[in-house]
Amino acid sequence: MNLALADAALSTRYGLLQTVVDAQSGRGQLIFNGKPVFVTSTAAAAYRLVPAPAQGSNDFAVMEEQLPDASCAYRHTLIRIGPERQTTVTPPFGACMRLSGTRPAPQGVEVITQGSDQREHVYFWRGTGPVRESVPTR
């Protein structure tokens, strides 16, 4: 991989989480403490890392990919970093929705997104297993 400079970086209690973009393919690679964790399936125009509330000894972050497709410009991936410095990464979720924020939830974290219809969508993750969408509000 011919890597360009990191497009986004986030310090956690356990080390540095960053995205690095392949200069030729545009695909992003998620790096934790200098080691590859995840490679995106498609090229993206930009990456953003957003901290999510820590739960006990676990740190959480959301990676938002800004895709070149104007009709569906975003998708998200959640990352859990534990005290053993191991990462857990979800499959992408929240397609076509812009990241609005994060908040703590009992035994996990919630990610709030907003669709083009301006409706809020909330996703919940415990740090393992699937990301689940709550019933849309508004």
- Is 115 part of any domain? no
How many domains is the chain partitioned into structurally? 1
- Is 61 part of any domain? yes
- Is 77 part of any domain? yes
Here the tokens at position 59 are: 């740190």
- Is 13 part of any domain? yes
| Measured distance CA(39)–CA(12) in Å, rounded | 20
Domain with 12 in it: 3-96
Max Cα distance, the chain (Å): 45
- Is 52 part of any domain? yes
pTM of the model: 0.85
Predicted confidence (pLDDT) per residue in 18-51, tens digit: 988 877 877 888 999 999 998 887 777 677 888 8
Residue 5 has pLDDT above 50, yes or no: no
Predicted confidence (pLDDT) per residue in 45-104, tens digit: 677 888 898 888 999 999 988 887 778 888 899 999 999 999 999 999 998 999 999 999
